[in-house]
Chain A
Amino acid sequence: EAQVTQNPRYLITVTGKKLTVTCSQNMNHEYMSWYRQDPGLGLRQIYYSMNVEVTDKGDVPEGYKVSRKEKRNFPLILESPSPNQTSLYFCASSLYGTGQTNTGELFFGEGSRLTVL
C-alpha cells in the first residue's frame, strides 16, 4: 500500500531534549516536505527536499533541521525543542517537485502531535 509513515504519532517532551520525527514514503517520490499545523494558521511549510541531499527552507524553518540521505526518508530534527514548537506535524511527498509536469498533488502522513513542556 502506497503510504507516508510518520513516527512517533504522539510525543510529549521537555524543553531542550533533542528529538527526531521520522518520515518514510514507499512511492519512490522525489519531493518531500514537512509542515506544521496550528489553529488559525493552517499548514505552514518548514523544510522541503527536491531529492537526495537537496533540501531548502520553507516558511518557518527556525529551530528545525532536516536531512535527506535516502530517497525514502526525510527526518525532522528538533535540536533543542521549545514550547512554541508544540504543534501537529505532517510529512508529505509527491512524485516530482519541479516544473509544469508536476501538478502538485501531495500525499500526507497521518501526523505527529508534539507537545514540548
Chain B
Amino acid sequence: AQSVAQPEDQVNVAEGNPLTVKCTYSVSGNPYLFWYVQYPNRGLQFLLKYITGDNLVKGSYGFEAEFNKSQTSFHLKKPSALVSDSALYFCAVRFLRNTGFQKLVFGTGTRLLVSP
C-alpha cells in the first residue's frame, strides 16, 4: 500500500540552527514526493517536489529536501531556521489509481516550532 510516515509530531529548533523534518515513504514504482506547509488558519501551500533527477531538491523559502531511495526517505531541511518557519509540515506521495487518475497520500504532519 502507498503510504508516508512522519515519525515526529513536533520538532523544536532554535532560530539560526539547521532543521530537519523527517519523512519516509512506501510506494511501488518510482515515487513522486512532495512537501507542503500549513501556516496557522491557512490552507496548505506547496513547498517542493521530487519527481526524478538530482536527489537534492530545492524549494520555496530556502527549504530543500533530500531523496534517499535506499532508505525510502525524503527529509525536509533548511540550513538556518527562522521563527517564521514555525508551521505544520506535511509530506505526501503521489500514485496513480488503476483509473489513471492521481492520488496524493499525506502524512500525519509535523509541527515545527522555531524559538527566538
Contact = CB atoms under 8 A, between A and B. Distances in A.
A11 B68 CA distance: 43
A43 B100 contact: no
A50 B99 CA distance: 11
A47 to B, nearest CB: 12
B94 A99 contact: no
Contacts, number: 66
A106 B109 CA distance: 17
A98 B102 contact: yes
B46 A106 contact: yes
Given A103-B32, A104-B34, A42 B108 contact: yes
Q: Is the interface of B mostly helix, strand, loop or mixed?
A: strand
Nearest to B97: A56
A30 B6 CA distance: 30
A43 B43 contact: no
A42 B44 CA distance: 12
A65 to B, nearest CB: 19
